[in-house]
Amino acid sequence: MSLPRKIRCAVESVVDHGGRVYSVELKPDRPIPVFQPGQFLHLTVDEFDPAGFWPESRVFSIASSPTERNRLRICYSVKGRYTQKMERAIAVGREVWIKLPYGDFVIEPDQEVVLVAGGTGISAFAAFLAMLTSQRTLPVTLVYGARSPDLLLFDEMILGQHRRIPALQVVFFAENGAPALAARLERQSRAPQCFPGRISLPEIWPLLSDPANRLFYLAGPPAMVETLCSSLRARGATPDRIRVDAWE
Ligand SMILES: Cc1cc2nc3c(=O)[nH]c(=O)nc-3n(C[C@H](O)[C@H](O)[C@H](O)COP(=O)(O)OP(=O)(O)OC[C@H]3O[C@@H](n4cnc5c(N)ncnc54)[C@H](O)[C@@H]3O)c2cc1C
């Protein structure tokens, strides 16, 4: 894996998805180091002198593809103090610093996997999903929950991949607006499943082929990850079959 490097970036675009969820595109001032889908970066909106100490920052999964070395995307949700500061500071043209790449939340290519994303946790899987091809024969199940259908990020890419790739199964959860989402999805040639409420293992389990042999990857808010980890263990999933992108 590449050694982490600190890179100055300009904010190229900011998309406000509503619900204080944002996608941000960054233009680094030089090509970023090689990274793998699932890795993350540190981002600071504070002043940084490369000769000095790294300032306060937060970490975000890299949502863009590793093939793009001159552009980066992250998605964040405003939670506490620092993401509130980011919401005020991040605007087109603004300078920010990142350091990357970090982490080992990298999906094993030769395993049958279940990817579970809550909210902006989808960022950890976005590049992997975008790079899937129809040659993939091992099952990949994406379980993705958000507060409302508008906050299902990357939905067009996910639906496009779902249409093209028979091995990809998609299950959406929406806390609000699930019936309207289900009605919209039913018009698709190969409709993903859709459930109301929060991600729930009892709903997912019967949909999985051979769940005991699946490798589960969980990314999202700590409360979601803790609940799903305990539900998986209660169903006999051993710790080596559960991988967590541990958010704080
Ligand atoms: C691997 C990983 C990937 C993540 N990916 C995403 C993502 O793609 N999108 C997303 O929205 N969120 C992501 N997060 C969560 C994100 O990094 C923040 O923790 C979250 O947004 C809350 O930050 P906050 O400052 O708003 O909240 P706060 O409640 O203010 O702080 C959250 C946590 O940050 C730590 N912290 C507090 N002060 C400092 C400090 N001075 N210096 C360093 N750390 C401090 C504390 O442990 C605290 O619990 C990810 C987290 C991890 C670990």
Q: What is the pLDDT of residues 162-212, one digit of tens each?
A: 999 999 999 999 999 999 999 989 888 888 999 999 999 999 999 998 898
Residue (of 189, 180, 188) closest to 150 by Cα position: 180
Question: Last residue of a domain, which of 102, 124, 152?
Answer: 102
Q: Could you tell me if 95 and 129 lie in one domain?
A: no
| 98 and 194 share one domain | no
pLDDT for 12 equals 98
Are residues 143 and 235 both part of a single domain? Answer: yes
Q: How many domains does the chain have?
A: 2
Question: Which range marks the domain in which residue 159 is found?
Answer: 113-245
Which residue's alpha carbon is at the smallest distance from atom 52 of ligand 1? Answer: 247
Strand partners, 59: 42
- Are the C-beta atoms of 105 and 178 separated by less than 8 Å? no
Measured from the CB, is residue 210 less than 6 Å from ligand 1? Answer: no
d(CA 90, CA 2): 27
207 and 128 share one domain: yes
Residues of the chain with pLDDT under 70: 248
HSE, side-chain direction, 13 A CA sphere, residue 175: 8
Chain position carrying tokens 């350091």? 99
- Do 69 and 121 lie in a common domain? no
CATH number of the domain within which 29 lies: 2.40.30.10
For residue 248 and ligand 1, the question of a CB distance below 6 A is answered with: yes
The Cα–Cα gap between 186 and 182 comes to 6
pLDDT of residue 7: 98
Farthest-apart Cα atoms in the chain, separation: 56
206 lines ligand 1 (CB under 6 A): no
Has residue 108 been placed in a domain?
no
Q: Does 123 fall in a domain? A: yes
CA of 220 to the centre of ligand 1 (A): 11
* Å from CA of 210 to ligand 1 middle: 35
